[in-house]
Structure 1
Amino acid sequence: MNLPTTETLLLEQKDHALHITLNRPKARNAMSLQMVHELMAVFESIKDDRSVRAVVLRGADGHFCAGGDIKDMAGARAAASNADEQNDPYYNLNREFGRMLTQVNSAPQVVIAVTEGAVLGGGFGLVCVSDVAITAESAKFGLPETGLGIPPAQIAPFVVNRIGLTQTRRLALLGARFDGTEAARLGIVHTVCSDEDIEQELEAVLTQVKRCAPEANIITKALILSVGNDELDNVLDHAARSFSDCVQGKEGQEGTMAFIQKRRPNWA
């Protein structure tokens, strides 16, 4: 695996999982444009790497991510004074974050978010594109953008997809803050733990990922993400073709044989 060199991320592969730690602790891991680009580069580098079956996203020093980096906003403000309408630095800064969310959302791996401390703005959005989210009950979630006079522009569509229109309207338009227990109730995260139990829960999830056939997981995630983005008949036609290919493929044959022989399949 050839991972890019990163300054704002810590990278470590453990068995079948790549652990990505947002590492700007002095800024509570606020997401700079550099971090956005580094995340995009890492996900691009592993998209065809079948040795990486899961990606774990978390933050350094007790915080997940406190949102966007204010310094980048200041830099965009300085650049805006000399920019024309077609080269708007605010637009480019914001849109690049949306491209990163889209890339993480569609990654073939199982993306697992582990959240503690601040989970605000961009960090909130990153959780909403994970496949599995675990949180400490003491974590603090929120969409504070409207309180700063700006919209949660690139985040809002992913939040709507995660928890629905009604709750997203309430959270975004009130700039609400809430803890991990409420995040689980709303469906933003799947499991809420005490701070001491997070590692154990993460290991349990990674063990479950390992029991699932890698190619079947990739196909299943793509199928799920296609729902609502294509005509239903097209989705079902493609799903039937994928099913047929998998049944006749190596994983389908190995899975069936393992079941008959009452053993774990070779990918587990």
Structure 2
Amino acid sequence: MNFTTLAVTVAQHVATVTLNRPDVRNAFNETVIAELTGAFRALGDTPEVRAIVLAGNGPAFCAGADLNWMKKMAGYSDDENRADALTLAQMLHTIWACPKPVIARVHGDTYAGGVGLVAACDIVVAAQPVQFCLSEARLGLMPATISPYVIRALGEQASRRYFITAERFDASEALRLGFVHALTAPEALDAKVAEIAAALVANSPNAVRESKRLVQDVAGASIDDDLLALTADRIAQIRASEEGREGVRSFLEKRAPSWRPV
């Protein structure tokens, strides 16, 4: 995979996708959107990759949309604007729906669409000095495309506030709200990300993939006969799967399962 706006590495079953436009605080444009979509699709289909870390190079994690790109969009027709917005929506969905778990490594300030990138990830680890801001209302805009992910991750009440005030909130507040899962000192950020990635890699790849999909399918669903049947079907299927059988055998035989790295 060759990229102009990203750096992608793979080591010990963990891929790291790094936003690599530090001169513009990793703001995204049509090229970044296309490359992120392509990278996550490819890594999602790569068997040796079991987890993905999304990171940023330079002082900021992601400042949202590139100003030059926004200037260009101001001259778009309605159809062009809709098509452009849809590519961003598809990129976010590709990250959210990626069959591999995604960890956001948030080392620096994260604004607007950058908050959407973080919200689309499964696990968020942030350094203490990080500031978040849904700044769209300051520019006469709204965070529409990122809203499905931000509202799920941040919560309806907090989203209502920060969408309309465009206030900054720090990583400690993001942790309190549940948007961030782990908060560290800057120098401890990589160690915490590595610890979580190692926990993911130690688990059954199939169980991790199916558990991620289970949360997405069950969250917000009515607890009715259809949901009871769905969950019963899912556990029955995974019990009968190759990795499900191997996991139970290895536990009873007191040995490491075959998927665990040596």
1:211 — aligned with what?
202
Q: Secondary structure at the match of 1:266?
A: coil
1:55 equivalent in alignment to 2:46: no
- CA displacement, residues 46-99 of structure 1 (integer Å, 9 cap, x when unaligned): 333221111100100232101111111111223x2xx3x4x2x32222222111
Percent identity of equivalent pairs: 32
1:105 equivalent in alignment to 2:96: yes
Q: Secondary structure at the match of 1:11?
A: strand
- 1:233 and 1:107, CA in 2 relative to 1: closer, same or farther beyond 3 A? farther
1:157 — aligned with what?
148
- CA displacement, residues 116-137 of structure 1 (integer Å, 9 cap, x when unaligned): 2121111101111111100000
| Pairwise CA distance, 1:191 | 0.3
Aligned residues: 259
* 8 A Cα contact 1:73 1:90, kept in partner: no
- CA displacement, residues 197-237 of structure 1 (integer Å, 9 cap, x when unaligned): 01110111011102210011111111111125766533432
- 1:230 and 1:170, CA in 2 relative to 1: closer, same or farther beyond 3 A? closer
1:13 equivalent in alignment to 2:5: no
The match for 2:231 among 226, 239, 253 is 239
The match for 1:193 among 174, 184, 194 is 184
Q: Secondary structure at the match of 1:192?
A: strand
Q: Give, in whole Å, the separation in 2 of the partners of 1:168 and 1:90.
A: 24
Which residues of 2 match residues 141-156 of structure 1 at below 5 A?
141-156=132-147
Q: Give, in whole Å, the separation in 2 of the partners of 1:10 and 1:199.
A: 17
* 8 A Cα contact 1:142 1:171, kept in partner: yes
Which residues of 2 match residues 49-128 of structure 1 at below 5 A?
49-78=46-75, 80=76, 83=77, 85=78, 87=79, 89-128=80-119
| Pairwise CA distance, 1:248 | 2.0
- Residue type of the alignment partner of 1:196: E
Query: Which TM-score applies when normalising by structure 2?
Result: 0.93
Structure 1: stretches of 5+ with no match in the other structure: none
RMSD: 1.6
Q: Give, in whole Å, the separation in 1 of the partners of 2:148 and 2:52.
A: 22
